[in-house]
Structure 1
């Protein structure tokens, strides 16, 4: 299959150089005429480089970089850097899901839906607001990390009880029964991250 012209490495490189040069020039508050004069190049050549319309020699590129204060060693720093596919979940936009604690007054918001080729972790924002409710204990595979954001809670893990306030964190083996024992101060909001062992 013939490679599309706009996807060729040569044109990608020229577009990258054009973007970096123009960005640095405008950041420095320089006009094309100023850069051309300092670098000893024609305005037309500088304009063509900034619009990815010409391939340029290393000597010309070096003079141009000197004129705009961009070390040529830094020019290609970000070239060929992977695109990245991070997922941003804005406040309040987590996907509400049903889990065992839902019927007991827990609200679960799943904060990340894309976790690679296999499920390796699940991050939840959990909200509890009924101090009179009796809560069950949970047991499931993996390691769990909880971080209390708001309120106060007495949390059970096995035979141990932990009093937690905002900023406190607890990590444990999630196969051992665990869960809130007493809601000391509501509303409670905590971040729970469950990491699953290799499956």
Structure 2
């Protein structure tokens, strides 16, 4: 049983705003005194804002945004999205999915998810444990990257055969028919990453 880690606490609004202002100021290599002077606030006040030691008015935030050359909407835009940019999948907890090959003794665990209507990539942990099965041929848009973690197999891409041992990687055009040709040593664990690119 895997040990769960508590989700990091959401930043308070003052902490988030201070962090964004400081990040923008440092990105432009501006000194705290310069920004404070142009914004019409004291250097001590700006320091307190950046370190979340004080709540500040929208008027002051608006002046800081003007000095830093960023829209106020950008300052708040990602506050509600904290924590949504990363996904941790613990060992053996990937979502089991059905794909072509599942009925042939392949097990697919999806290791990622992407939000929105378009997927840029998918990552699977593929397990194969029956060396006597015949294997389907796959063909789909994009580029595929395989990394063999355990076992040994011969992989077909078009008319070419590639002998793969644990630790080997293979990258190829996924529109060309491909798939396992022979399982030499089972069990096999294969990391498969499909990159669909951009339209």
2:60 is the counterpart of 1:58: no
Instruction: Please name the residue that 1:190 is paired with.
Output: 190
Instruction: Please name the residue that 2:134 is paired with.
Output: 134
Instruction: Please name the residue that 2:111 is paired with.
Output: 111
* Equivalent residue pairs, number: 137
The secondary structure found in structure 1 opposite 2:103 is helix
Runs of 5+ consecutive residues of structure 1 not aligned to the other structure: 1-8, 18-55, 63-79
CA contact (8 A) 1:136 1:179 kept: yes
1:1-199 matches, within 5 Å, as 12-13=14-15, 58=44, 83-85=82-84, 86-115=86-115, 118-199=118-199
CA distance in 1, matches of 2:114, 2:173: 24
The Cα of 1:135 is off from its aligned counterpart by 0.8
Instruction: Please name the residue that 1:20 is paired with.
Output: none
CA distance in 1, matches of 2:120, 2:183: 30
CA distance in 2, matches of 1:93, 1:190: 16
CA contact (8 A) 1:154 1:183 kept: yes
The Cα of 1:57 is off from its aligned counterpart by 6.8
Larger radius of gyration: 1
What is the TM-score normalised by the length of structure 2?
A: 0.60
Q: C-alpha offsets along residues 114-173 of structure 1, whole Å, 9 cap, x if unaligned?
A: 345521111000000001111121111111001000000100000100011111110101
CA contact (8 A) 1:87 1:114 kept: no
The secondary structure found in structure 1 opposite 2:89 is coil
The Cα of 1:185 is off from its aligned counterpart by 0.4
What is the TM-score normalised by the length of structure 1?
A: 0.60
The secondary structure found in structure 2 opposite 1:153 is strand
CA contact (8 A) 1:105 1:128 kept: yes
* Structure-2 change in CA distance of 1:15 and 1:167 (3 Å): same
CA contact (8 A) 2:126 2:191 kept: yes
The secondary structure found in structure 2 opposite 1:12 is helix
CA distance in 1, matches of 2:120, 2:130: 31
